[in-house]
Amino acid sequence: MPDLVVTVPKRLWRMWIDEGDCPGDPPTGDESSFYVGHRRRPNIAPGERLYIVCWGRLRGYAPVTRVVQKRQGWAICREGGAVAVTIRPFHWLARIKGFRGWRYRWWDICIEVPFPGWKTDEVGR
């Protein structure tokens, strides 16, 4: 199964960071979920990557631990192990417009680079 990409709405960016288990953080042992609505089950399995986009940039990914159907829709679950990456600056795929739901990863991982400024770079622009 392929990796998935989701968008964190700009207004929720700080709250999403505060959930914890961010890149570089020690694992808390807590599970966090990203809800993607009631449509079909996301085609992703434990160990695959859930990529996060916000403020027009790829911010990183976390390994998926499970996918569960809940009242609010499908929950893609994660724990520790998040990695801050983005697409190489100036690459034509570097700017990513936000979207609802989820999409399959459309780039080759060879264009990913570490993103030490993932929390703040271009936030608020």
List, for residues 49-86, the tens digit of each pLDDT value.
999 999 999 999 999 999 999 988 899 999 989 999 99
Q: What is the pLDDT of residue 116?
A: 95
Number of domain units in the chain: 1
Whether the predicted model's global pTM rises above the 0.85 cut: yes
Question: Is 121 domain-assigned?
Answer: no
Query: Which range marks the domain in which residue 98 is found?
Result: 4-114
Q: Using CA atoms, how far apart are residues 75 and 59, in angstroms rounded to an integer?
A: 20
Say if 18 falls within a structural domain: yes
In the chain, what are the helix, strand and coil shares in percent, each to the nearest 5?
Answer: 10, 35, 55
| 125 occurs within a structural domain | no
Considering the domain boundaries, does residue 122 fall inside one? no
Q: Is residue 119 part of a domain?
A: no
- Averaged pLDDT for residues 18-38: 88
Residue 91 has a pLDDT of 85
Provide the residue type at 66 as one letter: R
Q: Is 120 exposed, middle or buried (0-12, 13-18, 19+ CB in 10 A)?
A: exposed
Q: Could you tell me if residue 120 is inside a domain?
A: no
Q: Is 90 exceeded by the pLDDT of residue 23? A: yes
The confidence band for 1, taking pLDDT boundaries of 50, 70 and 90, is low
